[in-house]
Copies of this chain bind each other. A is one copy, B any other.
Amino acid sequence: MLKHYLLTPGPTPVPPKALLAMASPVIHHRSLEFSQILAEVKEGLKYLFQTRNDVLIFAATGTGAMEGAVANTLSPGDKALVVRGGKFGERWAEICKAYGIETINLDIEWGRCIRPEQILEYLRKYNGIKVVFIQAHETSTGVKFPVKEIGELIKDKDAILVVDAISALGAMELLVDQWNLDVVVAGSQKALMLPPGLSFVSISERGWKWVERSRLPKYYFDFKKEAEALKRDQGAYTSAVSLIMGLLENLRYIKEQGLDNIIEHHRRLSQATKSAIKAMGLNLFTKESPSEALTAVEAPAGINGQDIVRLLREEHGIMIAGGQGRLKGKIFRISHMGYIDKNEIIAVISALEAVLNKFGYPVKKGAGVRVVQEILFD
């Protein structure tokens, strides 16, 4: 018998209370009952995003809200700067291209971090950049980008900062208002501990100025229309009521636990996993600014990362992620995002020891596990 463990950077496991809430009979999206739920969800999202502004909710996965962030902040002929340090940076550039935006790419070696000053250099070099697109955490490489510092640098420039925090929000510190992050996108299936299907967007006061003058086509992801509806505790179109009922449970859970404690929990799981990986003689792929959301590991010479992922799943029931795009086969990624506990970290490291030995890479049984125990079981 194999039970199943989901340690992938989305989707992540869903707490039983949220699963049960989502199995409740469907209620109408224009009912008072649903508006009351949405009112509480609205407050919960403000807490999670650490913002005073309403956070928009879309029935769509993260890419939909990313597209919304492009379509709602830019106009034909506008210029954008995209930090491309992985697959999701490439996605920003692809969306901008689809909308005919002149896109300047600031390419970072995958696994490395940007220096905040590079943004300023580009803003100076390429005149008239209206929006800077970046990831708070590049899920494909495990690199955390310094969005706080970048927000500080461009808050008085004539450009706004749009941050994909899909795999960052709730897994690492992210103070939207205090850090001057103008537009921040998040998704349900990451540290928010829900099934895929919801995405979220916060918009700063400065960000709204860009939205006001944007002239790219949009309808479903129209920020202004959603914001107006949300003021009345409704969605502009039919809301994904079941997912939002699950969301309410998870936002309550996050509030009960306290956001700081949840961030600290992720930090500890991340530290334990990374230390165990090193104790097993493996190399972390993330060379700079590793995130607390996942641990990206180089596959040992001669072993395909996809095979490690496959054997963990087939023989141990543990689902982790392989490499994406150009990193396929070269790395594997253990997520500690969302509803994951210390016993699951023990399980994945213990299984990884066995799998590596099977592939001929020698690891002493318990070498990694002991490190996890030392860090997490004190």
Residues of A participating in the B interface, judged by any CB pair closer than 8 Å = 4, 6, 8, 10-14, 19-20, 22-29, 31, 58-64, 67, 70-71, 94-95, 98-100, 187, 189, 195-197, 216-222, 237-243, 313, 319
Contacts and interface: CB of A to CB of B under 8 A. Distances in A.
A237 B63 contact: yes
6 contacts: A8-B28, A19-B25, A59-B196, A62-B237, A98-B217, A196-B238
A22 B242 CA distance: 10
A218 B219 CA distance: 12
Question: Which of A58, A63, A195 gathers most chain B CB within 10 Å?
Answer: A195
A23 B22 CA distance: 7
Given A98-B222, A196-B240, 16 more contacts: A6-B26, A6-B27, A22-B23, A29-B196, A58-B60, A59-B64, A59-B197, A60-B60, A61-B240, A63-B219, A70-B219, A195-B242, A195-B243, A197-B243, A217-B217, A242-B243
Contacts of A243: 195, 197, 242
A220 B20 CA distance: 29
A196 B239 contact: yes
Contacts of A99: 217, 219
B219 A189 contact: no
B219 A94 contact: yes
A200 to B, nearest CB: 14
Given A10-B238, A26-B14, A64 B220 contact: yes
A13 B31 contact: no
A195 B29 CA distance: 10
Contacts of A4: 25, 27
B195 A241 contact: yes
A98 B31 CA distance: 29
B14 A63 contact: no
Given A99-B217, A243-B197, A62 B238 contact: yes
Question: Which of A29, A187, A222, A240 gathers most chain B CB within 10 Å?
Answer: A240
Nearest to A68: B220
Contact of A28 (B31, B94, B319): B319
Contacts of A26: 6, 11-14, 189, 195
A102 to B, nearest CB: 14
A195 B21 CA distance: 13
Contacts of A220: 60, 63-64, 67, 221
A20 B23 CA distance: 6
B59 A218 contact: no
A217 B219 CA distance: 12
